[in-house]
Amino acid sequence: MLDKLDSDKVELDKLDVQFIPNPRCKICRSPYVHEINQMLIEGRPYSEIIAKFKDKIPGLNKQNISNHKKHFNFVRKGIEKYYEQLEQGAEKVVDSIKALDETIERSLRFLRAIDPTQKPRAWEVTTRSLLGAIKLKHQIMGDYDETEDILKEIFGEEDSEEVEE
Ligand SMILES: [Zn+2]
């Protein structure tokens, strides 16, 4: 999935320039242009930009900012941002899967250590959280073949059918 993202991003880079300074624009001429572009990309309100830069760019007003927005490619920036967030999203998915792996691993270790006849409640709760984690991982990852083995390990061969959908 990330490979696909990277190749798409390379395509994107070929598209066009992102910033075409206009010599008549006081924002383009100012040393703060990149900082202001960044704020615009982040969707900050004009009033915030004006408040921050009014001393550095005398007479800065909403019209200046509105005109300046035409001087760099917002759509492209938006697309870049989209891919960026998509990548961050992918990392979050990886984090979730890791957390689920940890839950599965811990639950299994615990189940192996306790005797279900001695601690039926703890067994039940742990089994339930284990199955929940497995199911969630299965939902996130689609096909993966770990489930059956884990179920066999907990319930033994004969009972594994019952848990499958
Ligand atoms: Zn400009």
Measure 27 CA to ligand 1 centroid, in angstroms: 5
Per run of 10 residues, the mean pLDDT along the chain (length 165 residues) is 49 52 91 89 90 95 92 74 83 89 92 90 91 86 66 62 47
Q: What pTM was estimated for this model as a whole?
A: 0.44
Measure 35 CA to ligand 1 centroid, in angstroms: 12
Per-residue pLDDT reduced to its tens digit, 16-31: 446 778 899 999 999 9
The residues spanned by each domain of the chain are 19-72, 92-163
Q: Are 129 and 107 in contact (CB under 8 A)?
A: yes
Measure 131 CA to ligand 1 centroid, in angstroms: 57
Measure 123 CA to ligand 1 centroid, in angstroms: 66
Q: Give the environment of ion ligand 1: residues with CB less than 5 A.
A: 22, 25, 27-28, 68, 71
Measure 32 CA to ligand 1 centroid, in angstroms: 11
